[in-house]
């Protein structure tokens, strides 16, 4: 029996399927029952003790409670497997691309799931149970949750796709910081979606008759993850193209400004030389005693400037 002194915050919800769904209570958790789904809070006290009390092996307990995991599938027996997936974190006040971890342990006809943060996909599955519209079996429920997790990721990417398409069509309005933020979010999602595809591949290749019934649904889930991965790669490539265009524009602007400064320097170099030369305060400077020398000198400088501009135009520098 469940120890009455054990912390009970670990138990979030539970349902018995295989007919009309029946909600479980903590009293129903004394032992694992077939067709029962136990949804647990991973970081709550008492969960490890409960898992031990219902004879879950220590190696599986460690995986279910680990702080950091990557998506994977492990078949441990004909009726035991472990599935770890990632989903978009849609909780208020959180960063969606800090993806939450959902762990499933199918253990001899029972299903145990653990999470640290609430998942919208699992919340929708629980609501289906409350409304009496849940799938007929535990594995059907799990496949439904997998599909919801992936579709939530797809929905989250829709506005990102719109932003990238807008920047692609209006590249002059794009800015490097916005593109860098989009790229960072996509990279964080891709980090987990690539192994998520491999986890579903392994699940499809598992030698488990119970999973064979859901082969088509799992294929659809795997294909959706592949499509999302391909979309993310395409978005990242688009961002790189836009960044290259922005870099080219910036480089052209710098080159144009540098070229303009060089032309100005060329034009004013002889003028600066002459004004510097005539500014020397030593005897023998021409025009010192002439009242028109200054204006004659200004006219000469203007003539030199015009000559240089005409020369640079003929040489196609300007």
Query: What is the pLDDT, as a whole number, of residue 4?
Result: 46
Query: What is the pLDDT, as a whole number, of residue 197?
Result: 93
Strand partners, 245: none
Domains and CATH numbers, the chain: 11-248 (3.30.460.20)
Terminal Cα distance for the chain, rounded = 91
Note down pLDDT in tens along the chain; length 318 residues. Answer: 555 445 678 999 999 998 888 999 999 999 999 999 999 999 999 999 999 999 999 999 999 998 888 999 999 988 999 999 999 988 887 787 788 999 999 999 999 999 999 999 999 999 999 998 888 899 999 999 999 999 999 999 998 888 888 888 877 777 788 888 889 989 989 988 999 999 999 999 998 988 999 999 999 999 999 999 999 999 999 999 888 888 888 888 888 878 788 877 877 788 787 777 677 666 666 766 777 777 887 888 888 888 877 877 777 766
Q: What's the number of CA atoms in the CB half-sphere (13 Å) around residue 275?
A: 10
d(C-alpha 182, C-alpha 280), whole Å: 61
Transcribe 116-139 into DSSP letters.
Answer: SS--HHHHHHHHHHHTT---SSHH
| Residues whose CB is less than 8 angstroms from the CB of residue 181 and which lie 6 or more positions away in sequence, other chains included | none
Inter-residue contact 87 to 119 (CB < 8 Å): yes
């Amino acid at each position: 029996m469940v120890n009455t002194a054990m912390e009970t915050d670990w138990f979030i919800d539970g349902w018995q399927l295989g007919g009309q769904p029946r909600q479980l209570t903590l009293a129903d958790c004394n032992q694992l029952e077939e067709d029962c789904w136990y949804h647990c809070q991973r970081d709550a006290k008492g969960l490890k003790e409960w898992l031990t009390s219902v004879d879950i092996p220590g190696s599986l307990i460690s995986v279910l409670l680990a702080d950091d995991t990557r998506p994977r599938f492990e078949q441990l027996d004909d009726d035991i497997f472990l599935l770890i997936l990632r989903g978009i974190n849609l909780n208020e006040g959180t960063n969606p691309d800090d993806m939450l971890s959902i762990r499933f342990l199918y253990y001899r006809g029972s299903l145990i799931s653990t999470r640290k943060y609430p998942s919208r996909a699992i919340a929708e599955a629980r609501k289906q149970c409350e409304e009496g519209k849940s799938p007929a079996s535990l594995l059907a429920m799990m496949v439904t949750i997998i599909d919801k997790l992936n579709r939530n990721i797809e929905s989250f990417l829709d506005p990102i796709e719109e932003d990238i398409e807008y920047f692609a069509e209006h590249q002059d309005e794009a800015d490097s910081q916005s593109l860098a933020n989009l790229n960072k979010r996509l990279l964080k999602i891709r980090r987990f979606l690539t192994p998520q595809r491999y986890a579903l591949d392994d699940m499809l290749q598992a030698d488990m008759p119970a999973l064979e019934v859901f082969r088509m649904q799992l294929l659809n889930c795997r294909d959706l993850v592949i499509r999302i991965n391909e979309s993310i790669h395409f978005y990242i490539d688009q961002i790189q193209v836009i960044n290259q265009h922005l870099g080219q524009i910036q480089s052209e602007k710098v080159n144009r400004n540098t070229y303009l400064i060089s032309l100005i320097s060329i034009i004013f170099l002889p003028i600066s030389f002459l004004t510097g030369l005539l500014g020397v305060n030593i005897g023998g400077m021409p025009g010192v005693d002439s009242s028109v020398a200054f204006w004659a000198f200004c006219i000469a400088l203007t003539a030199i400037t015009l000559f240089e501009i005409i020369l640079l135009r003929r040489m196609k520098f300007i």
